[in-house]
């Protein structure tokens, strides 16, 4: 983390200097008549987007929420490894690591062959496959995740806070203007309940959950089916003689249904997902009037010979499983050639069963994908057509999620006994669980080739940095201060692109890496010179970092290109944190771990949302230009 570039300031470095002419954005400020981006809904999708946009004072963002304030408990709790990597970019990955429960192992319980009325442990697997991410899979109350995003928003230059007590009722898009074409009607749900307010916006993002008004307003329809199965979820403080209560467990009983146990933050709390009854095709779960006592009784039956003694029921909910997806995540129907103005994200455009722990994760990943694109358009770096890629990229991922989740939910709700052995020595749900691990970790996302994702022509130069997939971090040592760290942790949610230049065997003056740095810095046609405003820091848009194969002590005395020690900020202070080398202290050699070609090196281009956009030879200056030309507009000043 770097700070004091603009001068020394006491206090927490997380609190960024406030933007001078910002609109008052605290919850009590009057609503403005027009904004750049209006976000509906303070769930994980809306808050993740707001935290991203809050970093950019030039974007006037408003986020509204009908509830009177933040939620305090309940809803989702699974934070997968990919989301933890994203939290790192927002600056609170370490905080979540400290507070959360870490899912290290998952245990499987099934009917005991000697007594089918009792369950017995039949297997255990490591929950995060070795080397798949440097971050853990964690469990933490969704409300706490909200709080962490709210903190980022409040500390951002815009000091953004939600406007509670307002619901988006409807919106209209004026096709004949480019100037704030979306007119939004908000309804007060607080002290002035029923009061209406219209606001004009350039863009609207519906993060307003499964019953989204934004989706309805743009004609989006949910398609899918229901599994006609009632489930209950409860967060409890309880005593039990069940031995694996501090492990994530999948439990299948012979005659009483299935259950999922999720230990939670703090050491005492845990969550149970309990299978209740099958529903008739026309029946809704609410008609059954299930209670928390029904759930506790079912849990005790499933867990035999063990029992649970509940001391405090913290939160509970009963639901039925549905898998639904909209045709598109924006307001432009298929086949129409225009740029979108209104988007939906999260549960507003896809719903699935909670037990694969994806709801909160996928919702945040949706809006992380959209956030940097909106920023790029507002900053004049890209044409608005960039925003078409949001629906294209995220809908494909949501479709995959629903297909996998569908299969998983059916296995978890299979009639008693059927989800057990399938003829092999491993129960079907354990086998499927292992097969799904990369997917449930959020690591299987792979965006298709597009203007934003280059072709795999040179993928062989670094097969471990797969184009279209998230940048898979690995250890390095920062040369200036011999600091061991993760290369991926350089990425902040700041809207910048990154080029990681891996030096080949020839890495001194005159080598391909030096030539690349010289071209980037000096050639008026280079991507850095073309896309960075003349009055901005040289790394304001595209951040170049170099990774060498030698150890730090050799490199310390080596002359490096000026671009790798740039002078930036109002004082022109030298930046010492652009140069890295392999870790020689045992954490691992990044070249070896990711298969980077040691002879030739390569460059890895990474998008602001941490996805690998391209892998190219260090000499491929023109190919790099061609790639960026397809995304960026030439820089304007300011």
**Residues of the shown chain interacting with ligand FAD in the complex, contacts defined by CB under 6 A:** 40-46, 64-67, 75-76, 78, 142, 167-168, 207-209, 213, 233, 317, 346-348, 354, 357, 359-360, 363
CB 171 → ligand FAD: shortest distance, Å? 11
CB 331 → ligand FAD: shortest distance, Å? 16
Is the Cβ–Cβ distance between 260 and 321 less than 8 Å?
A: no
Rounded to 5, what percent of the chain is helix, strand, coil? 25, 25, 45
Rounded to an integer, what is the distance from CA 230 to the centroid of its chain? Answer: 29
Between 316 and 552, name the residue whose CB sits nearer to ligand FAD: 316
Structure tokens at 470: 């998230």
Is the Cβ–Cβ distance between 476 and 487 less than 8 Å?
A: yes
CA 409 – CA 599 distance, rounded (Å): 48
Between 77 and 134, name the residue whose CB sits nearer to ligand FAD: 77
Q: What are the two backbone dihedrals, phi and then psi, of residue 447, each rounded to the nearest 5 degrees? A: -80, 140
CB 196 → ligand FAD: shortest distance, Å? 13
CB 48 → ligand FAD: shortest distance, Å? 8
In the block, tokens 């934004």 appear at 214
Burial of 342: CB neighbours in 10 Å, binned 0-12, 13-18, 19+: buried
CB 81 → ligand FAD: shortest distance, Å? 16
CB 291 → ligand FAD: shortest distance, Å? 16
Between 410 and 529, name the residue whose CB sits nearer to ligand FAD: 410
CB 499 → ligand FAD: shortest distance, Å? 32
CB 423 → ligand FAD: shortest distance, Å? 32
Between 76 and 555, name the residue whose CB sits nearer to ligand FAD: 76
Between 136 and 601, name the residue whose CB sits nearer to ligand FAD: 136
Q: What are the two backbone dihedrals, phi and then psi, of residue 459, each rounded to the nearest 5 degrees? A: -55, -30
Phi-psi domain of 92 (left: phi exceeds 0; alpha: psi -120 through 50; beta: other): alpha
Structure tokens at 202: 């350039």
Of residues 65, 63, 55, the one with CA closest to residue 38: 63
Helix (H, G, I), strand (E, B) or coil at 300: helix
Q: What is the pairing mode between strands 475-478 and 308-326?
A: unpaired
CB 169 → ligand FAD: shortest distance, Å? 7
Between 208 and 619, name the residue whose CB sits nearer to ligand FAD: 208
Between 313 and 562, name the residue whose CB sits nearer to ligand FAD: 313
Q: What is the pairing mode between strands 222-240 and 269-278?
A: antiparallel
Of residues 267, 268, 266, the one with CA closest to residue 236: 268
Of residues 613, 372, 635, 598, the one with CA closest to residue 498: 613
Q: What are the two backbone dihedrals, phi and then psi, of residue 423, each rounded to the nearest 5 degrees? A: 105, -25
Between 13 and 68, name the residue whose CB sits nearer to ligand FAD: 68
Between 64 and 452, name the residue whose CB sits nearer to ligand FAD: 64
CA 109 – CA 111 distance, rounded (Å): 7
């Amino acid at each position: 983390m770097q700070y004091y570039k603009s001068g020394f300031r006491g206090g927490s470095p997380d609190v960024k200097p406030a933007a001078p002419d910002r609109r008052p954005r605290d919850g009590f400020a009057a609503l403005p008549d027009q904004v750049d981006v209006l976000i509906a809904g303070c769930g994980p999708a809306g808050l993740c987007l707001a935290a991203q946009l809050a970093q950019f004072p030039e974007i006037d963002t408003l986020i509204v929420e009908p509830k009177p304030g933040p939620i305090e408990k309940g809803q989702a709790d699974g934070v997968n490894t990919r989301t933890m990597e994203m939290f790192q970019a927002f600056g609170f990955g370490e905080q979540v690591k400290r507070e959360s429960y870490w899912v290290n192992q998952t245990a499987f319980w099934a009917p005991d062959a000697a007594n089918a009325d009792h369950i017995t442990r039949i297997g255990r697997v490591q929950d995060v496959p070795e080397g798949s991410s440097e971050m853990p899979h964690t469990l933490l109350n969704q409300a706490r995740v909200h709080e962490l995003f709210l903190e980022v928003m409040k500390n951002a230059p815009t000091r953004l806070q939600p406007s509670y007590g307002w619901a988006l009722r409807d919106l209209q898009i004026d096709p004949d203007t480019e100037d704030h074409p979306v007119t939004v009607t908000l309804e007060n749900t607080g002290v002035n309940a029923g009061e209406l307010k219209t606001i004009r916006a350039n863009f609207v993002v519906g993060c307003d959950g499964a019953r989204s008004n934004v989706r309805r307003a743009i004609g989006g329809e949910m398609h899918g089916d229901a599994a006609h199965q009632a489930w209950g979820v409860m967060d409890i403080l309880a005593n039990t003689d069940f031995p694996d209560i501090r492990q994530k467990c999948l439990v299948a009983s012979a005659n009483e249904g299935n259950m999922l146990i999720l230990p939670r933050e703090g050491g005492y709390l845990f969550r149970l997902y309990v299978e209740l009854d099958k529903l008739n095709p026309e029946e809704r779960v609410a008609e059954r009037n299930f209670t928390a006592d029904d759930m506790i009784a079912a849990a005790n039956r499933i867990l035999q010979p063990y029992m649970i003694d509940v001391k405090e029921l913290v939160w509970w909910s009963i639901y039925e499983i549905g898998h639904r997806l909209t045709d598109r995540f924006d307001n432009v129907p298929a086949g129409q050639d225009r740029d979108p103005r209104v988007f939906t994200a999260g549960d507003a455009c896809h719903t699935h069963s909670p037990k694969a722990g994806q709801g909160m994760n996928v919702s945040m990943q949706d809006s992380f994908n959209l956030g940097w694109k909106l920023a790029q358009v507002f900053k004049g770096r890209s044409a608005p057509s960039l925003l078409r890629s949001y629906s294209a990229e995220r809908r494909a991922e949501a479709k995959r999620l629903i297909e996998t989740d569908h299969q998983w939910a059916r296995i978890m709700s299979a009639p008693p006994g059927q989800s057990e052995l399938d003829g092999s020595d491993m129960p079907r749900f354990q086998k499927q669980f292992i097969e799904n691990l990369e997917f449930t970790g959020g690591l299987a996302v792979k965006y298709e080739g597009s203007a934003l994702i280059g072709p795999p022509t040179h993928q062989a130069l670094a097969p471990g940095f797969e184009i279209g997939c998230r940048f898979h971090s690995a250890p390095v040592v920062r040369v200036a201060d011999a600091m061991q760290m993760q290369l991926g942790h350089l990425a902040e949610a700041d809207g910048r692109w990154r080029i990681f230049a891996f030096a080949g065997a020839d890495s001194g003056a005159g080598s391909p890496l030096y030539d690349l740095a010289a071209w980037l810095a000096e050639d008026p046609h280079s991507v850095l010179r073309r896309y960075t405003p003349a009055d901005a820091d040289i790394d304001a848009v595209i951040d170049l970092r170099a990774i060498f194969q030698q150890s730090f002590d050799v490199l310390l005395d080596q002359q490096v290109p000026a671009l790798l020690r740039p002078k930036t900020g109002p004082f022109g202070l030298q930046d010492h944190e652009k140069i890295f080398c392999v870790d020689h202290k045992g954490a691992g050699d990044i070249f070896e771990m990711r298969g980077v070609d040691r002879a030739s090196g390569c460059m890895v281009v990474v998008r602001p949302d941490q996805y690998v956009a391209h892998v190219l030879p260090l000499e491929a200056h023109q190919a790099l230009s061609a790639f960026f030309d397809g995304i960026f507009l030439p820089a304007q000043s300011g």
